[in-house]
Chain A
């Protein structure tokens, strides 16, 4: 069972801004950095944001991440049809000898 909670779904029309929240605790997000992954249908996940706010090379700047306390957010500005995918937050958790945890996942639909 995931310890990082995300809304199951989010949606918007092309061009809109969509925000996805990720709620954790002091043992994970509160004390460690957050990564975000995008998983297109039928594909492996792909790193979208690392270390809370950084974009890997090639990721459009319409994707941005933020973190405050034990919560984090992913924002997609100027939503495009190709952004329709599942999005997962993730962080290291210091409990139980340390382990990585994914969020519950959010399905983004472009209306």
Chain B
């Protein structure tokens, strides 16, 4: 069983960079058994997929965010990260990291969620 633990600041000013990390326990972040990613949920609104990261090296982005998003995988710390540049109030949301069992896609694991508020 995987366990995902998120970390990162909850309050940012406009134009700053959002930086979140998801620590994985229970398997290696380099395992081909899973792929990883991030979604977000603005307050009172629906789910928005942000990015999916495959250990093949393929990364897929939400088209509207692609120019501002950077992801990384750190095998030495068994974690993966999300950076979102030049945030505005529209980026205020609860951000969740996830892991999905690859191939079958029959099991998912989620971080606890981080409320990120962008305010001057």
Contact = CB atoms under 8 A, between A and B. Distances in A.
A57 B107 contact: yes
Interface in A52-111: 54, 56-57, 86, 88, 90, 96-105
B47 interface: yes
Contact of A105 (B46, B60, B106, B112): B46
Given A45-B110, A47-B108, A56-B106, A100 B47 contact: no
Contacts of B52: 100
A38 to B, nearest CB: 11
B8 interface: no
Most buried by A among B49, B96, B104, B113: B49
Size range of the chain B interface in the assembly:
20 to 34
A54 B104 CA distance: 10
B4 to A, nearest CB: 9
Contacts of A90: 47, 49
B46 A102 contact: yes
B111 interface: yes
B74 interface: no
A70 B48 CA distance: 20
Given A56-B106, A57-B107, A99 B47 contact: no
Contacts of A105: 46-47
Interface in B47-88: 47-49, 52, 60-63
Interface of A: 2, 35, 37, 39, 44-47, 50-51, 54, 56-57, 86, 88, 90, 96-105
